[in-house]
Structure 1
Amino acid sequence: MNNLNKWFKSGSPWVWLSAGGVTLSLISVVGLLLLIASNGLSYFWPSQLHQFEMLDVEGTPSTVIGEIYDVESIPAEQLIHTGIDVKGAEFVERYLIKTGNRELVNLDFRWIAAPLIQQQSQPKDLVVIERRTNGNFYGFIEQVYMDGKVVELSQLNRFMDRVDDLQDEIFELQKTDIGAINYDLERIRLKSRKAEIDGELTPQLTAKFAAQTKQLKDEYLTLESKLNKLRDEVQRDKIVVRSMGGEKVEINLEQVIHISFNNQLNMLEKIGMFFAQIGNFIFAEPREANTEGGVFPAIFGTVLMVLLMTVIVAPLGVVAAIYLHEYAGNNAFTKLLRIAVINLAGVPSIVYGVFGLGFFVYMVGGSLDQIFYPESLPSPTFGSPGVLWSALTLAILTLPVVIVSTEEGLARIPASMRHGSLALGATKAETLWRIILPIASPAIMTGIILAIARAAGEVAPLMLVGVVKMAPTLPLDGNFPFLHLERKFMHLGFHIYDVGFQSPNVEAARPLVYATALLLVTIIVALNMTAVSIRNRLREKYRSLEH
């Protein structure tokens, strides 16, 4: 009994209890990440294509072609009302098949019960066609046409490469050249409107604007003619595909992104296609209500917003902490400020969103529009949600974290170091800049790391101050001032919410939720590891000052 009392008094049980808690937490985190990774990465693996010969309860034969997305066992009694003969089985397997072919059937997915399957095969010539619209098409390629002439199927890859090059040229022409002309036309219109508001619109200036507009429109017509020729050229080639119901469908190669004979791929080809699809997911734009395509605009918006938030919150938090710890007296007002800072950390994030919408967007943004952009009204420039207001809102949300962390770092520095520096003739400002801040820099970086971790995953306030389901253009482009902080943007956190809960195609969206969540976690970890690396370098650099 005495030994047990000594063991408890030594503190060893609490050490083991803490170690067990940390171990369980690590196991839970690793398990969650493995679950997200397995479900997310499996989405990119090229699945086998199956053909099911079916016989329904009325004896009518049919064929189903597609990918097996899920398999589950259900009680046989659930199928009694359907008239399916379960042959006395207690449980029956059923398959969730992605059949695509939206122009022929209403749903992308269907459940089929195993007792209805007469034969299951994996034909080598079965093909999956990824399209820009209407999702995937599954079937058998019957004919390939080039310039209206039937050609060999073996030449399909060459035609696809040609179409891809033309599509890239069309995209570049639309986004860069024609986009720049549209931007310049809008700038001329705004300049004319501003001169009219200021009373400076003279006949000479009107003639100048008209000449510039005419020149741009002439260039636009030239580019439009070139664009139409490219579109005509890319629409010449097509393929005829036979669906699972026997219908023959013509698919223009302009609408085709990728054609794959999955059942003919060996392991190395599948691995190559796996990484290619991951790359496409990261760098492509979303399609079909975010249920297909990539998430590059959401990645760009998330990283830009977090970096901009960090640039804003770091100096504000550090300056506030320095004032509270180094300059403010220990009086009732200072105590009240510290209580307010601590309480701000517990305010629900949606409240910050409402504040950001009311103060930043409507008040500050609306005032900026009235002062600097009257020619654009009633269309707002800064008076609408955008990436700048999102970054400022999250900066206020994470400001208490940076202040508290920085102040704790300042408090750990011995007063003797301050006194010694002042005794040697340094001013208080020099002491802060050369001694105090370098030593406290690891604590400052810790606050910034915590701020990044929280801000990157926030969604609720962003829904009010800048994030949207689909952003037509990135906040960064080739038009002056290049970085457009007034534009709305996409965010990975909101993308997860939108795909998971607002998608019209739930089954197709499910693997995308896991894939996007894995990507968001990866980005947060990358940002945090970068900040941790900087903190460790600063700690090693200024370790001598601490001693």
Structure 2
Amino acid sequence: MRAWFKTGTPWIWLNAGAIALCLVMVIGVLGLILVQGGSHFWPGNLQTVQAKQPDGSEKMLLAELVRTEEVSAAVLKDSGVKLDDGQLVYPRHLLKVGNRDLYGRDFAWFLDRDLANWQQPQNATVIERREWGHFFGFPQKLLQQDKVVAEGDALWAELELRIDRANDIHDAISAIEKTDIGRINKGLEKLRLEKRKLELAGATAEQLSAYEQQAAQDRAELDAQYAQLQQQLDALNADAKRDSLVMTSAEGTEMTISLSNIVHAHQPNAMNTLQKVGHYGFALWSFLVDDPREANTEGGIFPAIFGTVTMVILMSIIVTPFGVLAAIYLREYAKQGTVLKIIRISVYNLAGVPSIVYGVFGLGFFVYILGGNIDQLFYAESLPSPTFGTPGLFWASLTLALLTLPVVIVSTEEGLSRIPSTIRMGSLALGATKSETLWKVVVPLATPAMMTGLILAIARAAGEVAPLMLVGVVKLAPTLPVDGNFPFVHLDQKIMHLGFHVYDVGFQSPNVEASRPLLYATALVLVVLIVVLNMAAIQLRNRLREKYRSESD
């Protein structure tokens, strides 16, 4: 046995077992996220059920069965439930009842003994609304300006067409409000700031008067454009409210829902497997490209995806040159000695500093000091409203660049140290200078190592949350940081981020059960996004490695 231990075989097996255990745990976590997040988009069947209320009355519900669990009698007694049959464990069901405007809640727990007469009516309908969540009920008639245009068997086909029309109108309204009116507001604000800038510069009365005359003409033109757009908006809003749908809930309550408030409608009990697969794809696509609604418990996550990708790209552009140049100086130019050893130790220690410390530093130095001085020098006319003296995209990217800088430095240094000295000597022997040898021979060969550092930096930056909460990430950003208005990329704007979105949905949501599947789905998208970014960087690294390997051969 002692000889066997001396061979080192047990340690090899122990290492292999630890790696296998880690892989199983990672695959398990990813599988949990995939199942819980992916199942959210599958259309579950609706069931009518007779539910016994706490006061002893019975009520008919139309609901989706979310999950079933067993709960002990002691827990139920502590919550005030009366138990008389002496059972130790009771099965209970979580039902998604929807109709928040009627019931005051979307989800409710019921003991199995309090539910009876389960049925699946074919015409049970799910209405996804922009406000008040889902409505579960039965369609009765379709109205156009309070006149019945469809009911009975002809209702569903006509309803789908009119919902598509209402969504097109909603998209047109959003485009006008966010793009056209936003451009006009920016133009009016620009005129105000230019006048303020002239006043701060000490312009004469004649100069101010001349500017005011020109500004009045520009303002009148913008006002005319706004009046025209407002007429279009009024017409679109009136057109959007033209149609409405009359629904009845399971207990017979009648509700009239404007089609302008409906995102989508489907009848899950009447759908076959192929139709459910199609609905699954549609729901998944909508989740990826739509804006969030209902305090992030409904809708999509596109602004968070866009903000995450934009911030990571900007961070990569910032950290790569600084990290590479710092590593080249430390390895190739700096004098070896005690000071350099201290610098390297400091770089290694910076990699282990908690990320929230970088966030505090970014808020204090980048935002308040650097951003405040930029506002004083270049945006004085906007004060006291800050431009760069407030958290935003640029400061978030710069903070993450500082956070990941040690990783890039260490990886690049390791790559430079692996370049054989014979290559350097051969280049110098052929008459190349030290600078030419470094930049045309050594650095290209070390490019794969630089890409490795960038890959690690991207993986860490994309999942960070704590520092971003201080330097530019918010719960909901009304506009994207990239649009059609000059300068097109707005570095001062706040952004949404997938990591912070997971935190917000998981811990700050007012509707826990509604946000639970969105939490897993968003986490799944974040993992996939990190994998995609890493795979792209790895592919680029491999191409560079093969390129310079073939050239060296």
Q: Same fold (TM over 0.5)?
A: yes
Residue deviations 1:468-510, cap 9 Å, x none? Answer: 0000110001100000011000000000000100001111111
Q: Partners in 1 of 2:501 and 2:254 — Cα distance?
A: 36
When normalised by structure 1's length, the TM-score is 0.97
Name the SS for the 2:69 alignment partner. Answer: strand
SS in 2 for 1:112: strand
Name the counterpart of 1:66. 63
Query: Aligned residue for 2:478?
Result: 472
- How many Å apart are 1:87 and its aligned residue? 4.6
- Would you say 1:339 and 2:341 are equivalent positions? no
CA distance in 1, matches of 2:52, 2:6: 74
Cα deviation for residue 83 of structure 1 reads 6.3
Secondary structure of the residue aligned to 1:542 is helix
2:39 equivalent in structure 1: 42
- Find out whether 1:11 has 2:17 as its counterpart: no
What is residue 169 of structure 1 aligned with on the other side? 172
What residue number does 2:224 align with? 218
Write the distance in 1 (CA, Å) between the matches of 2:550 and 2:333.
26
**Offset at 1:89?**
4.1
* Structure 1 match to 2:381: 375
Which of residues 443, 455, 460 is equivalent to 2:466?
Answer: 460
Report if the CA contact (8 A) 1:237-1:252 is conserved.
Answer: yes
Identity %: 54
Query: Please, which of 91, 97, 100 is the counterpart of residue 98 of structure 2?
Result: 100
1:148 offset after TM fit, Å? 2.2
Alignment-derived partner of residue 281 in structure 1: 287
Write the distance in 1 (CA, Å) between the matches of 2:229 and 2:324: 52
Letter in 2 for 1:166: I
Shift of 1:84: 5.3
Matched, 1:150 2:148: yes
CA–CA separation in structure 2 for the residues paired with 1:344 and 1:85: 59
CA contact (8 A) 1:388 1:486 kept: yes
Q: Per-residue deviation at 1:202? A: 2.5
1:50-129 map, 5 Å? 50-56=47-53, 59-76=56-73, 78-79=75-76, 87=85, 89-129=87-127
TM-score norm. by structure 2 comes to 0.96
Q: 1:195 aligns with which of 187, 195, 198?
A: 198
1:179 to 179, 182, 201: 182
Q: Distance in 2 between matches of 1:101 and 1:338?
A: 61
Instruction: Find out whether 1:316 has 2:313 as its counterpart.
Output: no
Q: Secondary structure of the equivalent of 2:103?
A: coil
- Residue 234 (str. 1) matches residue 240 (str. 2): yes
Please tell me whether the aligned partners of residues 439 and 545 of structure 1 are also in contact (alpha carbons under 8 angstroms).
Answer: no
Of the structure 1 ranges 480-489 and 114-123, higher mean CA displacement relative to structure 2 is found in 114-123
- Counterpart CA distance in 2 for 1:211 and 1:248 is 54
* Structure 1 Cα separation of the partners of residues 124 and 306 of structure 2: 37
Task: Say whether the 8 Å CA contact 1:459–1:494 is kept in structure 2.
Answer: yes
Q: Which runs of 5+ in 2 are unaligned?
A: none
Pairwise CA distance, 1:57: 6.5
| Equivalent AA in structure 1 for residue 188 of structure 2 | L
The AA in structure 1 aligned to 2:117 is Q
| Shift in alpha-carbon separation, 1:191–1:139, aligned structure 2, 3 A | same
Q: 1:58 to 1:340 in 2, by over 3 A?
A: closer
CA distance in 2, matches of 1:247, 1:272: 31
Task: Measure how far apart 1:85 and its partner are.
Answer: 6.1
Partner of 2:547: 541
Q: How far 1:199 sits from its partner (Å)? A: 2.5
Report if the CA contact (8 A) 2:195-2:208 is conserved: no
Answer whether contact 2:474 2:495 (CA < 8 A) is retained: yes
Q: Unaligned stretches of 5+ in structure 1? A: none
Instruction: Decide whether the 8 Å contact of 1:85 with 1:115 is kept in 2.
Output: no
Task: Call closer, same or farther: CA 1:89–1:443 in 2, change over 3 Å.
Answer: same
Which residue in 2 is equivalent to 1:504? Answer: 510
Question: What is the match of residue 402 of structure 2?
Answer: 396
Q: Name which of 296, 301, 314 aligns with 1:290.
A: 296
CA distance in structure 1 between the aligned counterparts of 2:198 and 2:454, rounded to whole angstroms:
45
Residues 499-508 or 431-440, more deviating = 431-440
Q: 1:532 to 1:252 in 2, by over 3 A?
A: same
RMSD in angstroms over aligned alpha carbons? 1.6
In 1: Cα distance, 2:435 partner to 2:286 partner: 52
Q: Could you give the per-residue CA deviations for residues 269-322 of structure 1, whole angstroms, max 9, x where no partner exists?
A: 000000111101100000011111000000001011111111111111110010
TM-superposed deviation, 1:88: 5.1
Q: Which moved more, 1:536-545 or 1:367-376?
A: 536-545
- Does structure 2 conserve the Cα–Cα contact (< 8 Å) formed by 1:320 and 1:403? yes
**CA distance 1:189–1:50, change in 2 (3 Å):** same
Q: What's the secondary structure of 1:493's corresponding residue?
A: helix
Equivalent residue, structure 2, for 1:325:
331
Counterpart CA distance in 1 for 2:438 and 2:453 is 19
Q: How does 1:511-526 map to 2 (within 5 A)?
A: 511-526=517-532
Aligned residue pairs: how many?
A: 544
Q: What is the alpha-carbon distance in structure 2 between the residues aligned to residue 78 and residue 139 of structure 1?
A: 33
Alignment of 1:416-431 (within 5 A): 416-431=422-437
